[in-house]
Structure 1
Amino acid sequence: MKWSSKAGRRFFLVAGFMFLFYSLLMVFASISTGAFFAGYELVYVSSAVMAFCLAYLYPQFKENDERSKKIRERGMFFSYIFIMGYMLILMALFQFQIIDLNGYQTVSLLTSLTIITVFSSFVILSKRY
């Protein structure tokens, strides 16, 4: 059974709204218990962003042509540069003790930034190419 373009987009939109709802629920629960920014909240938010980006990109990525390969290749290249920048900034913030995060929070923050950067760069490049 072949999925149509609308069914694939609809799936990612529903998943995006579910992740958005879960992230709002987790943020509210974290704030109400006084333990805000445990780390997992940002992962849910970035998963929602990823699902919305994939809903937008689904018709283009469904066809595995040269254009979609170029978007993926360039997107990963630009994301790599930004991720290195995030790491340098975080290292400086830790070195000068401007922020104080534990290991789980730091990994969650980097994971979230990576997911958001990669998929938003795909969307930006899909408009360009």
Structure 2
Amino acid sequence: MSDKVGRSFFLICGFLMLFYSLLIGFSTIYTGDFFVGHELVFLGSTVMAFCLSYLYPQFKEGDERSKKIRERGMFFSYFFILGYMIILMPLLQFEIINLNGYQTVSLLTALTMITVFSSFVILSKRY
């Protein structure tokens, strides 16, 4: 698969996921059930697809640079994800925000996907 085909595949998937996330988001707002949970997972998938579209030529080669980007990205993401959990715990404990289990897991999933792949993009510009 050439670079253009791989990038365009992820770009098309990104726009498709963006369409789905907007459609699902608007439908849950329209029905009055906004923030069911899965809306953010679709949004996280959208960010992931766009980031993979950008990163495809670098990750396709599988060289030392791409391995370093992945390692550092996961390392930095770990601390951000830990921070998200530390912030969410008191917010949930003191009932500042009310989320059920599915919403909480969906929120953490979306934040994890966005953080990991955004850190890959940021680190790819650095290394």
Gaps of at least 5 residues in structure 2 are none
Q: Deviations over 1:14-36 (max 9, x none)?
A: 00000000000001100110000
Give the alignment of 1:51-62 within 5 angstroms: 51-62=49-60
Q: Following the alignment from structure 1 to structure 2, what is the Cα–Cα distance between the partners of residues 32 and 97? A: 26
| Structure 2 match to 1:45 | 43
Partner secondary structure for residue 97 of structure 1: coil
| Structure 2 match to 1:85 | 83
**Are 1:6 and 2:8 an aligned pair?**
no
- Cα deviation, residue 128, structure 1: 0.3
TM-score by length of 1: 0.98
RMSD: 0.4
Q: Following the alignment from structure 1 to structure 2, what is the Cα–Cα distance between the partners of residues 21 and 90? A: 29
Count of residues in Structure 1 that have an aligned counterpart in Structure 2: 127
| Structure 1 match to 2:116 | 118
Q: Following the alignment from structure 1 to structure 2, what is the Cα–Cα distance between the partners of residues 53 and 65? A: 18
- Cα deviation, residue 90, structure 1: 0.3
Q: Following the alignment from structure 2 to structure 1, what is the Cα–Cα distance between the partners of residues 72 and 53? A: 20
- Cα deviation, residue 92, structure 1: 1.1
Quote the sequence identity (%).
76
